[in-house]
Amino acid sequence: MPFIIAIDGPAASGKGTIARALASHFGFHHLDTGLLYRATGAKGGDPIVSARDLTPDDLQRPDLRSAAAGQAASRVAAIPEVREALREFQLRFASQEPGAVLDGRDIGTVICPDAQVKLYVIASDEVRAARRAAELGSDVADMLNELQQRDRRDSQRAAAPLRPATDAIVIDTTDLAIEQAIATAIAAVQSARELRPR
């Protein structure tokens, strides 16, 4: 049975960086599930049809990290039929041996509620805005406004709202160096692996 690590949290909290580091450290597969929603939104047209027809090649688009793609992702992610269409993609990915790391907004609560490790990564709004603005070369104040709008939309949607699983380990990266955040996550996963029945 594969070992599944579910990582959730708002945009620019550091969850993607932590997810990639964990996958590399433990030799697991990694899926940034936000790319599924970004690719669906970026394809345009009927989002439900786009989600159903999504292929791995669609995840290679160079524009998926843009702020516009992030906003489009947040909008289509509120559509229950889109979420259901992409759920099967994520479940197939999570079933790969020896294990998988999935990061997103509803992995620990909806997609993989039985994951062996659930992390919820957060940071202050101001720190997240500064990180994302530096990444995209945009204005910090504009980015703060965009992130707060997106957080509200993601947290208040009826379908799979952004929230920590009840048994998630919360990692606040506001004042942590990335090496510290990664070390904290590795320790949590290592502890769970040692407790797992052989």
9 is in an annotated binding site: yes
43 is in an annotated binding site: no
17 is in an annotated binding site: yes
118 is in an annotated binding site: no
10 is in an annotated binding site: yes
C-alpha to C-alpha distance for 115 and 138, rounded to whole angstroms: 36
13 is in an annotated binding site: yes
11 is in an annotated binding site: yes
> Would you list which residues are annotated within the binding site?
9-17
> Would you list which residues are annotated within the binding site for ATP?
9-17
